[in-house]
Amino acid sequence: MLRSLLLAIVVLACSGMSFQASAAFSRCMFFSGTADALVKPNAVEESLEALREAIDKYKAENGVTGPASEIAEKPRPHPYWRSEISSHLFLPPDTVSDQAYTLCWKGVVSPVVCTSGAKLCW
């Protein structure tokens, strides 16, 4: 019981800290990057690289130099050859970290396509 209470206090304190940190930023924008590969791990890695390139390019072009926070946010898939992705084509599990959310599906030409998403706040 005491462990549960302590865990609840820690979770509450941590959630309060993340809210305070995000409240310190005045602007937020969503970014995504899509890539394809023969196998899922490579497609995940390449989509994360595409996401990083998009964020870095935006920051450089718009003079974002101060403190910034990247928060994982589930993206909408960006298929190359389809207008939408049927649910049976997705390749679970999604890959989620603190900074990015990646989802993958079976491609038309490539075996695997992934889109990674994140919210940048500054």
Say whether 108 sits in a helix, a strand or coil. Answer: coil
Which residues have CB under 8 Å from 116's CB, separation 6+? 32, 33, 34, 44, 47, 48, 50, 51, 75, 100, 101, 102
Residue 6 pLDDT > 80: no
Give the HSE-up count for residue 60: Cα atoms under 13 Å, Cβ half-sphere.
6
Residue 24 pLDDT > 80: no
Q: pLDDT by residue (tens digit) across 56-96?
A: 999 999 999 889 999 999 999 999 888 899 999 999 999 99
The chain-wide mean pLDDT, for the chain, equals: 85
pTM of the model: 0.77
Residue 119 pLDDT > 60: yes
